[in-house]
Amino acid sequence: MNPLPQRAATLALALLLPIAGLAACSGGTADSATAVTGTDDACTLDRDVIEAGKIDFEFTNNGKDVSELYVLKDNGDVVGEVENVTTGTSRTLTVDLVAGDYEVNCKPGMKGKGISADFTVTGDGGTAQAKPERTVTFDAVDFTYEDLDLSSIKSGQTIRFEMTNSGTEPHEFEVLDSTGEPIGEVGATEPGDTGGATMTFGAPGKYTYQCILIDPKTGKKHSMLGMTGTFTVAPA
């Protein structure tokens, strides 16, 4: 699978970031729960077969550094994430999963490719995401997006994004709606690799895209160096 998103390990509070366009949930009653334990060199699930539906992933960081947890589809798409989980603390990520193969990825220090553990979801529960109407392919370079066509997107559409990293640093592609809430992201993708994500667009308005990984040379977010922009989602 493709590598996962990278964040600066400087925030003091843990941030729960479910990806709305990928059937993640921020509240409500889960159908089941599973524990995930992250250390400096391991990412461990308490079981590897889970019933379909809304699932609470209860992530505990037992490592020496801040960490984060991602749940991914078997194609590498991010389903949900919980970031900036400090040492000795726990956070819960709730995602809605249908039957299939998935993985969790713990990321000590919130950098690098992280540590993965596979699991399988079985049963008839869960809510499947709509199939994408089209695919937008583009390149990420240092520090911009090339051949990124965001025209003609309408409210209610589901679109798959595929990003090839043609730069020399990891890059991501995060989309925020008109209220500033994230609807999905292509996770941090290493140079030469391709990452993907499927997103469903809600209310019409001005949306933002960005890469907020940190450039090690300047200490600045990539968005501050040019990897950001806006586009309009039209009414259906």
* Count of domains for the chain: 2
Provide, rounded to the nearest whole percent, the portion of the chain with pLDDT above 70.
88
- Looking at the fold, whether 99 and 142 belong to one and the same domain comes out as no
Sign of the dihedral through C-alpha 57, 197, 133, 183: positive
The average pLDDT across 177-186 equals 91
Q: Report pLDDT digits (tens) over 160-179.
A: 999 999 999 999 999 999 99
Q: In terms of residue numbers, what domain contains 50? A: 15-122
Structural domain contains residue 8: no
Structural domain contains residue 28: yes
Q: Give the pLDDT of residue 160.
A: 94
The average pLDDT across 128-154 equals 95
- Looking at the fold, whether 114 and 190 belong to one and the same domain comes out as no
DSSP for 158-183? EEEEEEEE-SSS-EEEEEE-TTS-EE
Does 8 score more than 70 pLDDT?
no
Structural domain contains residue 3: no
Higher pLDDT, 84 or 26: 84
Higher pLDDT, 196 or 115: 115
Q: Give the pLDDT of residue 80.
A: 86
For residue 90, give the CATH number of its domain.
2.60.40.420
Does 217 score more than 90 pLDDT?
yes
The average pLDDT across 33-37 equals 97
Domain boundary among 95, 122, 149: 122
Helix (H) or strand (E) holding 83: strand 78-85
- Looking at the fold, whether 81 and 140 belong to one and the same domain comes out as no
Give, as one character, the DSSP assignment of residue 5.
-
- Looking at the fold, whether 165 and 225 belong to one and the same domain comes out as yes
Higher pLDDT, 8 or 185: 185
Structural domain contains residue 164: yes
Structural domain contains residue 49: yes
Domain boundary among 94, 122, 150: 122
Does 18 score more than 80 pLDDT?
no
- Chain-centroid distance of CA 75 in Å reads 13
Non-local CB neighbours of 9 within 8 Å, separated by 6+ positions: 65, 66, 84, 109, 110, 111
Nearest to 233 by CA among 129, 134, 156: 156
- Looking at the fold, whether 144 and 213 belong to one and the same domain comes out as yes
Q: What is the pTM of this model?
A: 0.77
Does 84 score more than 90 pLDDT?
no
Distance CA 170, CA 129 (A): 27
Structural domain contains residue 7: no
- Looking at the fold, whether 156 and 111 belong to one and the same domain comes out as no
Q: Give the pLDDT of residue 88.
A: 97
- Helix, strand, coil shares, percent, the chain, to 5: 5, 50, 45
Choice among 21-30, 57-66, 166-175, 194-203 with the minimum mean pLDDT? 21-30
Q: Give the pLDDT of residue 28.
A: 53
